[in-house]
Amino acid sequence: MADATEAARSDVQADVALKAKHRKMWALGDYPTLAGELIPELGTTLVEACGVGDGDKVLDIAAGTGNAAIPAARAGADVTASDLTPELLEAGRQQAGKQGVELEWREADAEALPFGDGEFDTVMSCVGVMFAPHHEATAGELLRVCRPGGTVGLLNWTPEGFIGQMFAAMKPYAPPPPPGAKPPPLWGKEEHVRALLGDEVTDLEMRRQTVRVDRFDRPEAFRDYFKAVYGPTIAVYRNIADSPDRVAELDQALAELAREHGGGSGSSGMEWEYLLVTARRSG
């Protein structure tokens, strides 16, 4: 019995440490600028797909700076934006204030949400919950807090798309994932999402779409931008900072990836693929 108690305590401590690491990673760089400059339209895309309207009670999980939460509030919904990282919430709060939009900002772990069963009409996440390490726990929570008949909406990067391929390129240079953690881009695979949601949903619809990113005039510009502002990329480079050869390898890999996806001089921009998911909560 003592051994089991000690093991449980150790698991809790490991989870607390993991979440602290994730919180710190997403506070690195300048994700608010990235979201605003590269993918501002994705939140509105998700809100429209969910059919969010006046008076709906909406939860945006792993909301970051409110890329989807703010458009949902603008549509007349009663919105709660939750995220693990307080720095992102504060940036979102400031952005909402500038736009004259009111919503609640709440620090929360996507794997242990502090909300009641069936509390929300719509539960959504825009390139957010995919980064929580334990997919089954996250899926269970987002389903739990959605009322029967309510809407679940997700927008996630696909493994085959540009961002999924970027994570694949960075993986050999990153620390090993903790036990039980799964790669974020799996949330962009139809069969994985179908297995996670299971018979807890009906009317499941999934379609792949792209967002055009034409900010970068050369591959190296993309690489250097992400090295400066994107938390996961910054964290990977810090992991190999004492190995110049590995840094050079990753530099080359990211620039080549951007070149392959149309991020070079004279191109019309890159198309970043994502999976858009909507479903109805069973019951």
CATH code, domain with 274 = 3.40.50.150
For 35-54, what is the mean pLDDT?
97
For 272-282, what is the mean pLDDT?
98
Supply the range of the domain harboring residue 161.
2-281
Question: Has residue 24 got a pLDDT over 60?
Answer: yes
pLDDT tens digits, 27-43? 999 999 999 999 999 99
For the chain, what is the domain count? Answer: 1
Question: Has residue 126 got a pLDDT over 80?
Answer: yes
Alpha-carbon distance 73 to 95, whole Å? Answer: 13
Number of neighbouring beta carbons within 10 Å of residue 149:
12
pLDDT tens digits, 218-243? 999 999 999 999 999 999 999 999 99
Question: Has residue 46 got a pLDDT over 60?
Answer: yes
Question: Has residue 6 got a pLDDT over 70?
Answer: no
The pLDDT score that the predictor gives to residue 8 is 44
Alpha-carbon distance 270 to 264, whole Å? Answer: 9
The pLDDT score that the predictor gives to residue 262 is 83
More confident residue, 5 or 276: 276
Residues paired with residue 209 on neighbouring β-strands, in sequence order: 274
Tell me the three state secondary structure of residue 23: helix
* Average pLDDT score over the chain: 94
Alpha-carbon distance 69 to 151, whole Å? Answer: 15
Number of neighbouring beta carbons within 10 Å of residue 49:
19
- Give the whole-number percent of the chain exceeding pLDDT 70: 93
The pLDDT score that the predictor gives to residue 16 is 84
- The helix or strand, by DSSP H or E, that contains position 259, with its residue range, turns out to be helix 244-260
The pLDDT score that the predictor gives to residue 261 is 92
Question: Has residue 139 got a pLDDT over 70?
Answer: yes
Closest CA relative to residue 160, chosen from 42, 274, 43, 46: 274
Q: How far is CA 131 from the centre of its chain?
A: 5
Kindly state the tokens that stand for 263. 């991020």
Question: Has residue 63 got a pLDDT over 60?
Answer: yes
pLDDT tens digits, 168-218? 999 999 999 988 899 999 999 999 999 999 999 999 999 999 999 999 999
pTM of the model: 0.93
Alpha-carbon distance 48 to 31, whole Å? Answer: 23
Question: Has residue 74 got a pLDDT over 70?
Answer: yes
